């Protein structure tokens, strides 16, 4: 199975137990890490193949991961259900309000995605899925921003934040 994102691991001192949501989880490296860190995890993705592999892996190791097959363009998360939401390398502006509402008060958001500089790394990347380098923190201006790295990565092509929901 894949390794968790280094940004999540680097800030694992912020983790506590509870319910977590891994949005667009892919093969599940972050979901596995969160489950091993004491979270009950809902792992959501559009790939039934990736989710089936993740489910088998989790069951074999007794990890508390529930796999949810969903097209995130048409999916809404349950309100105030999670203590942590992780979103890595998936950006959809229309989904942001649902992500915010999914967190409980004092819940943590780990968000890392490609920004507009990513076209210098991958010229054919769909610009609809890129964020302005400074915008990610602005989308969550109603959160307490604990970490703001607007131009991370070798070419500054990744924007990432950790925020705490305060309202």
32: domain CATH number?
3.40.50.150
Which are the contacts of 80, defined by CB distance < 8 A and separation ≥ 6? 101, 102, 103, 104, 105
In-domain check, residue 139:
yes
The whole-number pLDDT of residue 96 equals 95
On whether residue 1 sits in a domain, the answer given is no
Q: Is residue 156 assigned to a domain? A: yes
- Residue 15 confidence (pLDDT): 97
Per-residue b or e along 21-46, where b marks 16 or more CB atoms closer than 10 Å to that residue's CB: bbbbbbbbbbbbbbbebebbbbbbbe
**Could you tell me if residue 114 is inside a domain?**
yes
Domain that holds residue 64: 6-165
pTM, to two decimals: 0.95
Tens-digit pLDDT string for the chain (167 aa): 789 999 999 999 999 999 999 999 999 999 999 999 999 999 999 999 999 999 999 999 999 999 999 999 889 999 999 999 999 999 999 999 999 999 999 999 999 999 999 998 899 999 989 999 889 999 999 999 999 999 998 889 999 999 999 98
Q: What angle do CA 32, 33, 34 make, to 5 degrees?
A: 90
Crossing angle for the helix pair 29-36 and 48-61, to the nearest 10 degrees:
20
For residue 14, being part of any structural domain is answered with: yes
Q: How many domains does the chain have?
A: 1
Asked if residue 92 lies in contact with residue 71, where contact means CB atoms within 8 angstroms, the answer is: no
Judge whether 113 lies within some domain: yes
Please tell me the predicted confidence (pLDDT) of residue 94: 93
């Amino acid at each position: 199975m894949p390794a968790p994102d280094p940004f999540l691991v680097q800030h694992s001192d912020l983790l506590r137990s509870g319910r977590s949501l891994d949005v667009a989880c892919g093969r599940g490296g972050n979901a596995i890490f969160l489950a091993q860190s004491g979270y009950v995890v809902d792992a959501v993705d559009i790939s039934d193949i990736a989710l089936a592999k993740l489910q088998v892996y989790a069951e074999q190791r007794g990890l508390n991961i529930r796999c949810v097959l969903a097209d995130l363009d048409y999916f809404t998360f349950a309100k105030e259900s999670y203590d942590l939401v992780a979103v890595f390398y998936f950006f959809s502006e229309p989904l942001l309000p649902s992500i915010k509402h999914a967190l409980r008060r004092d819940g943590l958001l780990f968000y890392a995605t490609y920004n507009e500089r990513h076209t210098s790394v991958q010229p054919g990347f769909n610009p609809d899925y890129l964020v302005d380098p400074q915008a990610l923190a602005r989308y969550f201006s109603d959160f307490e921003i604990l970490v703001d790295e607007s131009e991370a990565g070798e070419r500054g092509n990744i924007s990432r934040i950790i925020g705490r929901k305060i309202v």
